[in-house]
Amino acid sequence: MGETYDNIVIGGGAAGCVVAARLSEDPDRKVLLLEAGGHNRRLSVKAPAAFSSQFGTKLDWEYWTEPEENLFGRSLHEPRGKLLGGCSSMNAMMYVRGNAYDYDSWVQQGADGWSAEEVLPFFRRSERNADLAGPYHGTDGPMSVCTVTPDPVTRRVVDACVEAGFELRDDINGEQQEGVTFTQVNQRNGVRHDTATAFLQPARKRPNLTVRTGALVHRVLLRDGRADGVEVSFGKDREIFRAAGDIVLSAGAFGTPEILQRSGIGPADHLRSVGVPVAIDLPAVGRNLMEHPFQFVNWELAGTDLGLADISHPKHLARWLATRKGKLASNVGEALAFFRTDRSLPAPDMEFVIAPLFFWEHGKRQHPRPAFSIGLSYIAPTSRGSVMIRSSDPTANARVQLRMLSDPAEVMAITTGIERAREVAVQPALRDMCGIEINPGPWVRTSEAVGEYVRATVEHTYHPACTARIGSPQDGACDARLRVHGVEGLRIADASAMPTITRGNTHAPTIMIGERCADFVRAGSTDRPAASHGQLIGQGA
pLDDT digits (tens, 9 = 90+) for 363-416: 888 899 999 999 999 999 999 999 999 999 999 999 999 999 999 999 999 999
Q: What is the pLDDT of residues 249-272, one digit of tens each?
A: 999 999 999 999 999 999 999 999
Pairing outcome for strands 7-10 and 247-249: parallel
Give the side-chain half-sphere CA count within 13 A for 213: 15
* Closest by Cα among 8, 32, 39 to 209: 32
Taking the C-alpha atoms of residue 414 and residue 376, their distance in angstroms, rounded to an integer, is: 7
Q: How far apart are CA 185 and CA 189, in angstroms?
A: 11
- How far is Cα 338 from Cα 334, in angstroms, rounded to an integer? 14
User: Is residue 176 helix, strand or coil?
Assistant: coil
pLDDT digits (tens, 9 = 90+) for 28-42: 999 999 999 999 999
Residue 32 to residue 10: CA distance in whole angstroms: 8
Contact in structure between 122 and 483 (CB atoms under 8 Å): no
Q: Which residues belong to the active site?
A: 463
Handedness of CA 361, 364, 365, 369 (dihedral sign): positive
Burial of 475 (0-12, 13-18, 19+ CB in 10 A): middle
Contact 16, 10 (CB under 8 A): yes
Sequence-ordered list of residues with C-beta below 8 angstroms from that of 54, at least 6 positions apart, any chain: 44, 45, 60, 79, 81, 90
Task: Walk me through the domains of the chain, giving residue ranges and CATH numbers.
Answer: 149-182+293-380+406-457 (3.30.410.40)
State how far the alpha carbon of 367 is from the alpha carbons of 38, 300, 301, 338, 455, in Å. Answer: 34, 9, 11, 27, 22
DSSP code string of 449-515: HHHHHHHHH-EE-S--B-TT-BS-TTT-SB-TT-BBTT-BTEEE-SGGG-SS--SS-SHHHHHHHHH
User: Which of 97, 114, 101 minimizes the C-alpha distance to 173?
Assistant: 97
pLDDT classification of 361: cutoffs 50, 70, 90: confident
State how far the Cα of 376 lies from the Cα of 94, in Å rounded to an integer: 15
**pLDDT above 60 for 532:** no
The pLDDT tens digits for 144-198 are 999 999 999 999 999 999 999 999 999 999 999 999 999 999 999 999 999 999 9
- Whether the pLDDT of residue 483 is over 90: the answer is yes
Global pTM reads: 0.96
Residue 466 scores a pLDDT above 80: yes
